Chain A
Amino acid sequence: MSSDLIVFLVLSLVAIATALGMLFSQNAVYSALFLVLNFVTVAIFYLLLGAPFIAMAQITVYAGAIMVLFLFVIMLLGAESLAPTNSLPWQKPMAILLSVILGVEAVYLLLNRAGSNLAVAAPDASLNSMDSLREMAMSLFNNFLLPFEVTSILLLVAMMGAIVLTRQEKEAK
């Protein structure tokens, strides 16, 4: 058993445990903190896969910006825990059944159709150099320039949307 495999197995246990912790916590703040841990674990997976830039983007954007926004909104609304309502009593068992079916089917089909005998080699040190980052940037700004620009417009629209949504309330007062 190689050291990579041991690291992978331990980290995947942490990832699944934190995802389940996010799902089953009654307090939304605990859910958000579990999710931060999950994002950090996924970032370490990216490092294992030889994608240091994506790993750092994951930590700054997801674990940093997005989750801080989540925690801020949870505490702003006081939505730590909602009173349970049972409008559909059979909903939870049904949800568990359906998602178990989804999971089994997804694993079965992915292994059958997308499964390969390829293995992820341990990333070599050259991936952590500036050359690798430069190569990725060349690809981003040559082959993917249009999606990049569209993304910038999308972010601008999202920013304006958030501002407009919160501005309406002030005008109504």
Chain B
Amino acid sequence: MVPVDYYVVLSAILFTIGALGVLSRRNPLIIFMSIELMLNAANLAFVAFASVYETFSGQIFVFFVIAVAAAEVAVGLALIVEIFKTKKNINIDEMNSLKG
């Protein structure tokens, strides 16, 4: 028996690490990975509560989150590749104009 609070705390810690990654790293790919980490932390809390309350709704919501994350990554990485093609650089500090 593991108290559900432990899962919630673990999820909060993982989310915080992801937020720290978004705030402190300058590589857009690592910022993207940190966003995935935050989505995963939220999923973990969803599944933990779904398991405690013995309902499938939480698991199905996680299923949708995974699908949305896959769509987000496909478009986001295509955008990063496109920015690299126009700017020859993907440092986040240099992405300061809308016009390539």
Contact = CB atoms under 8 A, between A and B. Distances in A.
Interface of A: 2, 4-5, 8, 12, 15-16, 19-20, 22-23, 28, 31-32, 35, 38-39, 42, 45-46, 48-51, 53-54, 57-58, 61-62, 65-66, 69-70, 73-74, 76-77, 79, 82-85, 87, 91-92, 94-96, 98-100, 102-103, 106-107, 110-111, 114-123, 135-136, 139-140, 143-144, 147-148, 151, 154-155, 157-159, 161-162, 165-166, 168-169
Contact of A98 (B23, B73, B84): B23
Interface of B: 1-10, 12-21, 23-27, 29-30, 32-34, 36-37, 40, 43-44, 47-48, 50-52, 56-57, 59-60, 62-64, 66-75, 77-82, 84-85, 90-91, 93
A61 B40 CA distance: 12
A79 B20 contact: no
A46 B66 CA distance: 14
Nearest to B33: A35
Contacts of B67: 61, 151, 154-155
Contact of B60 (A66, A94, A144, A159): A144
Contact of A116 (B4, B29, B59, B90): B4
**CB-CB nearest 6 A-B residue pairs:** A158-B71, A103-B16, A95-B23, A99-B20, A95-B24, A49-B51
Contacts of A15: 10, 14
A92 B59 contact: no
A169 to B, nearest CB: 6
27 contacts: A8-B2, A12-B10, A22-B30, A22-B34, A38-B40, A49-B51, A51-B59, A54-B43, A54-B59, A54-B63, A57-B66, A62-B36, A66-B73, A79-B29, A85-B91, A91-B23, A94-B23, A95-B23, A110-B8, A115-B8, A120-B3, A120-B7, A120-B48, A123-B51, A144-B64, A148-B64, A155-B70
